[in-house]
């Protein structure tokens, strides 16, 4: 089996959730059936949304470090960080399993034509490009709802997991009028939102990435 290298820490709780999903998605009867995972959980990566420092150099250095440690394939446990995926690819010779593509593939398989996105502005734009390329129509939050999303994101990163955060995220998902499926396009979203109470499928981008990572590392189609 191939060794997976994970660029994480953006944020730490979301990375731990992703690692749990890797374990859950692996068909294993014993310890040795699981894939080997090397993780750089680096919360020092510059804020992907602040714009005061570009995270590309830090992500590239993480990729090189994971390659040097023995990783054979890479994944980034952060949707927004995929805006700098080309810098990661250029930094080393390892293939990168793309979270955005994994989630869009799952959205397409639901049969939905209009797909809502819960994510940062950068992630929303990445998903918009990929969804349109796949023949799907992206549905974005209104500017006011996008600002509310960022407030909730900061609260979740600060440890908020209560009913206020859960209800707020659910309301934002429901505000995506006309969406026939919703992508949780930020790795913090599934910490407070699941499919219960939503009238349409919820695509968890982190879970989609985990399933693909397990398949690739186990050499499964």
DSSP string, 93-127: SS-EE-HHHHHHHHHHHTT-SEEEEES-HHHHHHH
Tokens 């990566």 correspond to 45
Q: Under a CB-based contact definition with an 8 Å cutoff, are residues 205 and 176 in contact?
A: no
Nearest to 204 by CA among 180, 219, 188: 188
Percent of the chain topping pLDDT 90: 94
pLDDT tens readout for residues 174-206: 999 999 999 999 999 999 999 998 999 999 999
| 9 and 55 co-located in one domain | yes
Tokens in use for 186? 């930020």
| 70 and 91 co-located in one domain | yes
| 104 and 90 co-located in one domain | no
pTM of the model: 0.95
- Which pLDDT score is estimated for 53? 77
Out of 92, 102, 186, 213, pick the active-site residue.
186
Active site residue 213: no
What residue numbers bound the domain in which 57 lies? 4-98+208-217
| 193 and 107 co-located in one domain | yes
Q: Say if residue 105 is exposed, middle or buried (CB neighbours under 10 Å; 0-12, 13-18, 19+).
A: middle
| 8 and 49 co-located in one domain | yes
Task: Please count the other Cβ atoms lying within 10 Å of the Cβ belonging to residue 220.
Answer: 9
Tokens in use for 125? 């734009």
* Cβ within 8 Å of residue 67, ≥6 positions away: 5, 74, 92, 93, 94
Q: Would you say residue 20 has pLDDT above 90?
A: yes
Task: Give the full edge-to-edge strand order of the sheet including 4-8.
Answer: 37-41, 4-8, 73-76, 96-97
- Which pLDDT score is estimated for 114? 98
Q: 32: domain CATH number? A: 3.40.50.1860
| 213 and 195 co-located in one domain | no
| 104 and 194 co-located in one domain | yes
- Which pLDDT score is estimated for 174? 97
Q: Under a CB-based contact definition with an 8 Å cutoff, are residues 34 and 217 in contact?
A: no
Q: Would you say residue 92 has pLDDT above 80?
A: yes
- Which pLDDT score is estimated for 50? 76
| 73 and 152 co-located in one domain | no
- Which pLDDT score is estimated for 220? 77
pLDDT tens readout for residues 34-84: 999 999 999 999 998 877 678 999 999 999 999 999 999 999 999 999 999
Angle of CA points 185, 114, 175, to nearest 5°: 65
| 16 and 72 co-located in one domain | yes
Spatial separation of the C-alpha atoms in residues 103 and 109, rounded to whole Å: 10
| Mean pLDDT (whole number) for 149-161 | 95
Q: Would you say residue 217 has pLDDT above 90?
A: yes
Out of 78, 92, 213, 217, pick the active-site residue.
78
Active site residue 217: no
Tokens 């609260």 correspond to 155
DSSP annotation string for 56-84: HHHHHHHHHHHHHHT-SEEEES-SGGGGG
φ, ψ dihedrals at 73, nearest 5°? -150, 150
Question: How many domains does the chain contain in total?
Answer: 2
- Which pLDDT score is estimated for 106? 97
Spatial separation of the C-alpha atoms in residues 77 and 104, rounded to whole Å: 16
Q: What is the DSSP letter of 36?
A: P
């Amino acid at each position: 089996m191939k060794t997976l290298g994970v660029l994480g820490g953006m944020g730490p709780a979301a990375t731990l959730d992703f690692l749990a999903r890797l374990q859950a998605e692996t068909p294993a009867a014993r310890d040795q059936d699981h894939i080997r995972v090397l993780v750089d959980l680096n919360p020092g990566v510059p804020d992907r949304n602040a714009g005061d420092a570009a995270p590309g150099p830090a992500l590239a250095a993480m990729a090189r470090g994971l390659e040097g440690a023995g990783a054979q394939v890479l994944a980034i446990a952060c949707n927004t960080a995929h805006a700098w995926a080309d810098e990661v690819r250029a930094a080393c010779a390892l293939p990168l399993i793309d979270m955005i593509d994994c989630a869009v593939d799952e959205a397409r398989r639901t049969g939905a034509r209009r797909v809502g996105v819960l994510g940062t502005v950068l992630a929303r734009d990445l998903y918009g490009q990929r969804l349109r390329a796949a023949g799907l129509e992206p549905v974005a939050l209104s500017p006011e709802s996008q600002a509310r999303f960022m407030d909730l994101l900061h609260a979740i990163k600060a440890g908020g997991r209560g009913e206020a955060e859960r209800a707020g995220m659910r309301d934002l998902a429901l505000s995506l009028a006309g969406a026939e499926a919703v992508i949780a396009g930020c790795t913090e979203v599934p910490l407070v939102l699941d499919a219960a109470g939503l009238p349409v499928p919820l695509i968890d981008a982190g879970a989609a990435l985990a399933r693909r990572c397990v398949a690739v590392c186990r050499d499964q189609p």
